[in-house]
Amino acid sequence: MAKELVSRDQVRVEDTWDLSAMYESKDAWEADIKFIEEKLAEISKYQGKVCESAENLLSVLETSAITEEKFELAFNYAERIFDQDQGNTEHQSMSQRMFALYAKISAATAFVSPEILACDAAVIDGFIASKPELELYRLQIKEIQRLKAHTLSAEMEKVVAMTQEMANTPSEVYSAFKNVDMTFPAIKDENGEEVVLTDGRFVPMLMSADRRVREDAFKAYYGVYEKYLNTMASIYNGEVKQHIFNSRVRNYSSNLEAAVDANNVSPQVYDNLVKTVNANLDKLHAYVSLRKKCLGVDELHMYDIYTSMIPDAAKTVKYEEAQKTICEALAVLGDDYVDLLKEGFANRWIDVYENKGKRGGAYSATAYGVHPYMLLNYTDTFDDMFTTAHEMGHSMHSYYSNQAQPYIYSGYKIFVAEVASTCNEILLLEYLLKNCTDKKEKAYLLNHYLDSFKGTVFRQTQFAEFEKTTNEMVEAGENLNSENLCKLYKEINEKYYGPDMISDDEIAYEWARIPHFYYNFYVYQYATSFCAAVAIADMILKEGAPAVERYKKFLSSGCTDAPVELLKIAGVDLTTPAPIEAALAKMGEIIKELEKII
């Protein structure tokens, strides 16, 4: 009998998140939606009058901030309750209402930025001087002015805002199709028992020491995707096209430029990453060669890339053990940091295990004024412990930033979002290596370190290169289809993994299962953040308190400066290739260290 996933009502309450910190009831949520609608009506009265006086400017900015803060809370509640069981139609409706309300807010406030931009900067400076309460909004106004060349007239901004609900359709269809409608077959596990494949179980199956299980899982899983490649290609093509509409209407030269400029990052940072990683593919090729040697196989296949190179060293890590180890490893960040970790573990910030209809993967999300929430799909693996540490890094970043900054500056840019999470992972790994006395266990940990480089720097840059190329194809007038997407993906895969890897036919379908391709040039930031985190963790372990103080200042900075500048507070300069080159040099050193041990 195949092992089926439990339904949501069968999950222990202690293993679920407690959403009551946001709202005690749906009625309270509805009340906030009504409040938001009322505030939108207030804002609309200022259309054409935003800069008539300092009082008007202050009122518009204050009311907009209050409205957005309430929306963030309502949105987070709806999305968290939806993600715990995406098959629940009531929760689907709540989620859809939030996206509709977001579009309404965008349309209703679309006139604000254009009117501020139309106002002489000297006049605004005079307003701030005459009304001290406006000083709070100086940085916000400066950011609006930075985007002047890409801000439209009030009327056009309203039209563009009205397209947002429609623009979400490709990602909504993808999510529903992938997480709810797609079903996978059962395969036999190591014990000969039938287990139904799911998104959450796929990678753990590929981590199996039994090669037959890995191959069966790989072929069965991608066999399902193969059936739907045309559908997936159409959905992705629609996603890219809606970004092209937005980038062109805002006078950007490309989707890439529009996406990174939203975070005040130059496209050169993106291109620099791809270029530097491509110049260091020899490190990944050496890793692949070492993996082939360790596994003792004549041919290394893509289904061999997740299993440990060190046989019989993998161990299960129960959730309770993971919590304890994470707290010990991150003690270098101070008692206040560890106390917050313990509070999160003890007070149901986290939805721990997989259930039927639950969104796959893992994330941390937060709304201002309440603690962060984390979604996991914990399966007692070593990697799951690192995922927990990773998401806790996001949660701590949000917590520190929310505590230190007013709402309008609390949300850090996506570019720095992966730094704190990855820093946690690296500190955990360094702690385990330091306290390891067993040669085989040390080899296993070094293998994990290498896998982190492979998965976060090389794999995410591989995704970034694919995403950049596919966007350029559509921008040049070419439609994306299953044939050209599969061909491109396989070619890039072969380049990255090199001659010692067999790029199986099925790997050409992998693009169809990557949800981050619907996040609009997100993935490159995993790679840049990993390299920054390597540097920060190294400083924390070598310098101690001074580096920790700098790091916490960075965590508390929200969006008070350009993200590249904020990273400089922590001691990292990503305007140069140096952090990327240094991180990849470290990978080379780890490969040599592991070669000596084995």
| pLDDT by position in tens, the chain (length 598) | 346 889 999 999 999 999 999 999 999 999 999 999 999 999 999 999 999 999 999 999 999 999 999 999 999 999 999 999 999 999 999 999 999 999 999 999 999 999 999 999 999 999 999 999 999 999 999 999 998 889 888 889 889 988 988 999 999 999 999 988 999 999 999 999 999 999 889 999 999 999 999 999 999 999 999 999 999 999 999 999 999 999 999 999 999 999 999 889 999 999 999 999 999 999 999 999 999 999 999 999 999 999 988 877 767 899 999 999 999 999 999 999 999 999 999 999 999 999 999 998 999 999 999 999 999 999 998 889 999 999 999 999 999 999 999 999 999 988 899 899 999 999 999 999 999 988 888 998 998 899 999 999 999 999 999 999 999 999 999 999 999 999 999 999 999 999 999 999 999 999 999 999 999 999 999 999 999 999 999 999 999 999 999 999 999 999 999 999 999 999 998 888 889 998 999 999 999 999 998 8
Q: Are 165 and 103 in contact (CB under 8 A)?
A: yes
Kindly provide the b/e burial profile for residues 52-66, where b requires at least 16 CB atoms within 10 angstroms of the residue's own CB.
eebebbbbbbebbbb
Q: What is the C-alpha radius of gyration for the chain, rounded to an integer number of angstroms?
A: 24
Q: Are 423 and 393 in contact (CB under 8 A)?
A: yes
Q: Does 23 reside within a domain?
A: yes
What pairing do the DSSP bridges indicate for beta strands 350-351 and 373-375? parallel
Angstrom CA distances, 583 to 245, 423, 449, 492, 527, stand at: 37, 13, 12, 22, 10
N-term to C-term CA, the chain: 40
- Dist CA 178 CA 175 (whole Å): 5
What residues contact residue 582 under an 8 Å CB cut-off, 6+ apart? 531, 534, 535
What pairing do the DSSP bridges indicate for beta strands 300-301 and 501-502? parallel
Choose, from 72, 115, 391, 510, the residue flagged as catalytic: 391
Q: Does 428 reside within a domain?
A: no
Q: Does 134 reside within a domain?
A: yes
- Dist CA 355 CA 5 (whole Å): 6
Alpha helices, DSSP H, located in 87-179: 89-108, 112-118, 121-130, 138-146, 154-162, 164-167, 169-176
Give the total number of structural domains in the chain: 1
- Please give the residue range of the domain that contains residue 68: 8-167
What residues contact residue 508 under an 8 Å CB cut-off, 6+ apart? 486, 487, 489, 490, 493
- Dist CA 100 CA 74 (whole Å): 13
What residues contact residue 13 under an 8 Å CB cut-off, 6+ apart? none
Determine phi and psi for 584, rounding to 5 degrees: -70, -30
Query: In the numeric block, which tokens belong to residue 268?
Result: 């050169």
Q: State residue 1's pLDDT score.
A: 38
Q: State residue 90's pLDDT score.
A: 95
Q: Does 89 reside within a domain?
A: yes
Angle subtended at Cα 541 by Cα 536 and Cα 543, rounded to the nearest 5 degrees: 85
Residue type, 304: D
State the CATH number of the domain containing residue 95.
Answer: 1.20.140.70
Instruction: Report which DSSP code applies to 364.
Output: E
- Dist CA 556 CA 566 (whole Å): 10
Q: Does 279 reside within a domain?
A: no
What residues contact residue 130 under an 8 Å CB cut-off, 6+ apart? 54
Q: Does 577 reside within a domain?
A: no
- Dist CA 177 CA 164 (whole Å): 20
Instruction: Report which DSSP code applies to 109.
Output: T
Q: Which residues pair with residue 194 across a beta bridge?
A: 188
> Long-range contacts for 547-550 (Cβ within 8 Å, ≥24 apart)?
547/571, 548/332, 548/333, 548/334
Determine phi and psi for 355, rounding to 5 degrees: -145, 170
Residue type, 285: H
Q: Does 339 reside within a domain?
A: no
Q: Does 90 reside within a domain?
A: yes
HEC letters along 473-513: HHHCCCCCCHHHHHHHHHHHHHHHHCCCEECCHHHHHHHHH
Query: In the numeric block, which tokens belong to residue 598?
Result: 């084995």
Q: State residue 308's pLDDT score.
A: 86
CA atoms within 13 A on the CB side of 127: 23
Judged by DSSP in three states, 194 sits in strand
Query: pLDDT tens digits, residue range 285-340?
Result: 999 999 999 999 999 999 999 998 887 776 789 999 999 999 999 999 999 999 99
What is the H or E stretch that residue 83 is in?
helix 54-83
Instruction: Report which DSSP code applies to 376.
Output: -
Query: In the numeric block, which tokens belong to residue 136?
Result: 């709070």
Q: State residue 165's pLDDT score.
A: 85
Q: Is 391 a catalytic residue?
A: yes
Strand-by-strand arrangement of the 373-375 sheet = 350-351, 373-375, 363-365
